[in-house]
Amino acid sequence: MTPAMLLVVGAANLLLVPAFLAGVMRKVKALMQGRTGSPVLQPFFDLAKLWRKGETVSETATWVFTWAPRVFLAANVLVAILVPWSGVALMGGLPYAADYVYVLYLMGLGRFFSLLGALDTGSAFGGLGASREATLSVLVEPIVLLSLGALALQSGSTDLSTLFSGPVTPLVAVLSGFALLIAALGELSRMPVDDPTTHLELTMIHEAMILEYSGRGLAQIEAAVWVRACVFFGLASQALLRAWPGFENLGGLAQYGLGLAGLFLVGGLVAVAEGLLVKLNWRRVPHFLAFGIALGLLSALVAAARG
């Protein structure tokens, strides 16, 4: 791809795709539940509305509360620029910039601040959500490291741009892809790990964390979450697309098109599943994520055996 095309793709990836994916997922879920649902572009409207609104901040809050969404958003946007989740490596020219360990820890930086922001107001909801989010990340981290590690072992590089451009054993791609999908459900607190749409605070993980945010603070967090959803669903769909051996021989634009199609397909399937599944009891969530760890282990095993 030429630099100009990369620029266009990058702008679309960051400004349009994340909110659009969120809108599509909401729509699919609404249709699954027999509702008409809000327009697909509703996330954009939501964002504009939040941006115009005033902000109410707790008296207990300190600078951490103000800066947490900024770090959270910046870290996730940087991750979205680095990771080739749509099939196009925006930062392909800067070798090793998309090192997956770095990317994971960059997300960790965002999480660290978002958790602190949740605790800053001294609200019990914030504490509850933060505690559960921290627990989930303990389970998600090994899944991502194992499945991406298995893929990286095959391409010989921890750089995600290189990782997704080399040949991959289909079995590893499938195992890693499904493991990443499970990791995405955990990391993004989607069904069956958590229901992002309920408004009973006690059932929520992520929503409880951000209960105190309003106005522009909330807008930043929402945007960051949509971007992160793109990255995680994108990684899963990219891994699954690699199961088709012909994929790596395609041209840049075709890969981008298929990548976006895969992303929306994965997102849509998750939304369909959300319409069908019930939320797991919080105590059963580790049980669900354990299947992801097992898939990651098996993927690592196959990759290691292949050498």
Question: Which residues, at least 6 apart from 38, have a Cβ–Cβ distance to it below 8 Å?
Answer: 23, 26, 27, 30
CB contact at 8 A, 206 and 133: yes
Shortest Å, Cβ 40 to other proteins: 25
| Complex with other proteins: residue 39 or 93, whichever CB lies closer | 93
Kindly state whether residue 303 participates in binding other proteins, applying the rule CB under 8 A.
Answer: yes
> Considering CB under 8 A, how many residues would be counted as binding other proteins?
93
Q: Residue 61: which region, alpha, beta or left (left: phi > 0; alpha: psi -120 to 50)? A: beta
| Complex with other proteins: residue 27 or 242, whichever CB lies closer | 242
| Complex with other proteins: residue 73 or 258, whichever CB lies closer | 73
Kindly state whether residue 300 participates in binding other proteins, applying the rule CB under 8 A.
Answer: yes
Which of 17, 19, 21, 71 binds other proteins (CB under 8 A)? It is: 71
Shortest Å, Cβ 304 to other proteins: 4
Shortest Å, Cβ 252 to other proteins: 23
Locus of tokens 């971007």: 227
Q: For 99, phi and psi rounded to 5 degrees?
A: -55, 130
**Residues 141-160, interacting with other proteins (CB under 8 A):** 141-142, 144-146, 149-150, 152-153, 156, 158
Interior CA angle at 116 toward 113 and 122, to 5°? Answer: 155
**Residues 257-286, interacting with other proteins (CB under 8 A):** 282, 286
**Residues 157-216, interacting with other proteins (CB under 8 A):** 158, 169-171, 211-212, 215-216
Other C-beta atoms closer than 10 Å to the C-beta of 222 total 21
The C-alpha atoms of residue 267 and residue 245 are separated, in whole angstroms, by: 23
Q: Which stretch binds other proteins (CB under 8 A): 12-20, 21-29, 132-140, 237-245?
A: 132-140
Q: Is the peptide bond before 43 cis (omega within 30 degrees of 0)?
A: no
CB contact at 8 A, 205 and 136: yes
Kindly state whether residue 56 participates in binding other proteins, applying the rule CB under 8 A.
Answer: yes
**CA-based nearest residue to 278, from 268, 290, 288, 293:** 288
Sequential DSSP letters for 1-15: --HHHHHHHHHIIII
The C-alpha atoms of residue 19 and residue 8 are separated, in whole angstroms, by: 17
Q: Which stretch binds other proteins (CB under 8 A): 17-25, 69-77, 188-196, 235-243?
A: 69-77
Q: Which stretch binds other proteins (CB under 8 A): 3-11, 23-31, 125-133, 273-281?
A: 125-133
Shortest Å, Cβ 98 to other proteins: 10
CB contact at 8 A, 37 and 29: yes
| Complex with other proteins: residue 42 or 66, whichever CB lies closer | 66
Which of 37, 42, 67, 166 binds other proteins (CB under 8 A)? It is: 67
Which tokens is 41 given? 């572009």
Kindly state whether residue 92 participates in binding other proteins, applying the rule CB under 8 A.
Answer: no
